[in-house]
């Protein structure tokens, strides 16, 4: 502790007196304080030399500093890479496992699938959400639904984990031929009314449309029961979910101009992500599990077209 006793009053003042009686004593600052000040000044120079502290670079070179003891020369990129290693170290055990597993095995592993649900969000946002919407809610343009909703259990090409994986790897593109030339407008009108009624569960109320459906080429792709054939990606017309537009006008347009078949037809193309080369095998597997876990994934042993009916009462 410094001596703060000035009981003799013998310390000279600076000579200036304010307000009649206030003066500054010319006491030296305490030694510890002066040492601290000097030490800090020295440290500033050392610190300045250790880091790349000159904020200019000429022709790509800059003052790199003399470096830190033990760890070498510091740059922001190096520090970021060190931080990245910490993150990678946490993820590595999971990523190593995923590398050698099938999507179905990843899904079956509770811990891994939970990891995918958390880490897949960025992947999905970067690669899928542009068409399918954030969290797979689908996107809508003025002609109807642009890309399918991934949260529901209606799948054009199958909703098992392997089918979803296959879809991402290879892409999908189905075709529906236009019928504006092969069917008369009133026939199109009748069959549109029929499939709309089908979706509402009262297909028998439209016998005219049913006749057109059965006698023209509709059954070739959608099947005689109108439930669609997943191998070719034809839609199930009996459920409540519409790929493009469930209004009568929308249905008529789909029938008249088809899908992926020339001018005015609807466009439905899922790109090939394997070929695009942007995603690694692990990332595609993670995306498949991520999409499955939205809630619409179909278990392998459950037939795709038979979702559980509402139980009488859960209460």
Partner 1 sequence: MNKPRQVGAEEVGHLTDLYQEHEEWHVNLGEKTIHAKRMPGRFRTLKYITQSIWVFFFIGAYMRWNGKQAMMFDIPNRQFRFFDLTILPQDIWMVALLLLLLAMTLFAVTSVASRVFCGYFCFQTSWTDLFTWIEEKIEGNPHKRHKLDAAPWNAEKIRLKLLKHSIWLLIAVLTGVSFSIWFTDAFEYWHNLLTFNLPMIAWVVLISFILGTYYLAGFMREQVCLWLCPYSRIQGVMCDSQTLLPTYDEKRGEPRGKLRKGQLAGKATQGDCVDCFQCVQVCPTGIDIRDGQQLGCITCGLCIDACDSVMEKVGRPRGLIRYASLDEMDGKPVKKLYQHPRTFVYIGILLLALIGILYGLTHLGALTLRVAPERQPLFVRMSDGSIQNKYVFNVLNKTGKDLYVKIRAEGGVKGQIIVDAEKPQLVIHGRSTPFTVFVKAAEANIVKEVTPIEFYVENTEDPNMTAEYNTVFNGPKR
Q: Count, in order, helices (H) and strands (E) of the chain.
A: 12, 8
- Within 10 A of 173 (CB to CB), how many other CB atoms are there? 14
Phi, psi of 13 (to 5 degrees): -105, 175
Nearer to partner 1 (CB atom), residue 95 or residue 152: 152
Nearer to partner 1 (CB atom), residue 115 or residue 213: 115
Please, are residues 68 and 62 in contact by the beta-carbon 8 Å criterion? Answer: no
Positions 279 through 298 that interact with partner 1 (CB under 8 A): 293-296
Count residues binding partner 1 (CB under 8 A): 39
Among 1, 41, 76, 231, binds partner 1 (CB under 8 A): 1
CB of 303 to partner 1, least distance (A): 12
Rule CB under 8 A: say whether 9 interacts with partner 1: yes
Phi, psi of 20 (to 5 degrees): 75, -40
Of 99-107, 172-180, 262-270, 305-313: span binding partner 1 (CB under 8 A): 305-313
106 Cβ contact partners less than 8 Å away, ≥ 6 residues apart: 98, 112, 113, 116, 285, 286, 289
* Closest alpha carbon to 195 in 178, 219, 176: 219
Nearer to partner 1 (CB atom), residue 88 or residue 200: 200
Rule CB under 8 A: say whether 14 interacts with partner 1: no
Among 41, 45, 46, 314, binds partner 1 (CB under 8 A): 314
Positions 146 through 175 that interact with partner 1 (CB under 8 A): 149, 151-154
Please, are residues 290 and 124 in contact by the beta-carbon 8 Å criterion? Answer: yes
Nearer to partner 1 (CB atom), residue 3 or residue 249: 3
Positions 58 through 117 that interact with partner 1 (CB under 8 A): 110, 114, 117
- Within 10 A of 179 (CB to CB), how many other CB atoms are there? 21
Nearer to partner 1 (CB atom), residue 9 or residue 60: 9
Of 13-21, 160-168, 216-224, 253-261: span binding partner 1 (CB under 8 A): 13-21
CB of 32 to partner 1, least distance (A): 15
Nearer to partner 1 (CB atom), residue 65 or residue 103: 103
Distance CA 243, CA 256 (A): 16
Cα angle for residues 176, 203, 144 (degrees, 5° grid): 40
Distance CA 118, CA 165 (A): 18
Positions 228 through 247 that interact with partner 1 (CB under 8 A): 236, 239-241
Nearer to partner 1 (CB atom), residue 179 or residue 196: 196
List contacts with partner 1 (CB under 8 A).
1, 4-9, 13, 20-21, 23, 110, 114, 117, 134-135, 137, 149, 151-154, 236, 239-241, 293-296, 307-315
């Amino acid at each position: 502790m410094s001596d703060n006793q000035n009981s003799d009053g013998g310390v000279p003042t600076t000579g200036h007196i304010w307000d009649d009686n206030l003066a500054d004593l010319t006491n030296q600052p305490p030694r510890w304080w002066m040492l601290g000040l000097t030490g800090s000044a020295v440290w500033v120079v050392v610190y300045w030399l250790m880091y790349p502290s000159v904020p200019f670079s000429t022709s790509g070179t800059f003052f790199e500093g003399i470096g830190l003891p033990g760890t070498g020369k510091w740059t922001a990129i190096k520090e970021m890479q060190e931080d990245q290693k910490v993150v990678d170290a946490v993820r590595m055990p999971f990523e190593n496992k995923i590398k050698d597993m099938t999507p179905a095995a990843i899904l079956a592993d509770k811990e891994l699938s939970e990891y995918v649900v958390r880490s897949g969000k960025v992947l999905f946002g970067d690669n899928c959400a542009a068409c399918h919407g954030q969290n797979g809610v689908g996107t809508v343009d003025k002609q109807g639904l642009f890309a399918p909703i991934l949260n529901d259990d209606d799948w054009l090409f199958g909703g098992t984990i392997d089918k979803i994986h296959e879809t991402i790897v290879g892409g999908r593109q189905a075709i529906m031929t236009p019928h504006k030339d092969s069917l008369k407008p009133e026939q199109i009108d009748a069959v549109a009314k029929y499939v709309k009624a089908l979706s509402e569960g009262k297909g028998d109320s439209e016998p005219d449309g049913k006749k057109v459906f059965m006698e023209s080429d509709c059954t070739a792709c959608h099947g005689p029961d109108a439930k669609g054939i997943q191998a070719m990606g034809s839609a199930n017309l009996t459920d409540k979910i519409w790929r493009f537009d469930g209004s009568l006008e929308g249905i008529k347009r789909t029938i008249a101009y088809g899908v992926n078949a020339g001018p005015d037809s609807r466009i439905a193309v899922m790109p090939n992500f394997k070929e695009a080369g942007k995603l690694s095998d692990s990332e595609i597997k993670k995306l498949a599990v991520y999409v499955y876990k939205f809630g619409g994934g179909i278990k392998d042993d459950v037939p795709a077209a038979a979702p559980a009916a509402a139980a009488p009462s859960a209460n």
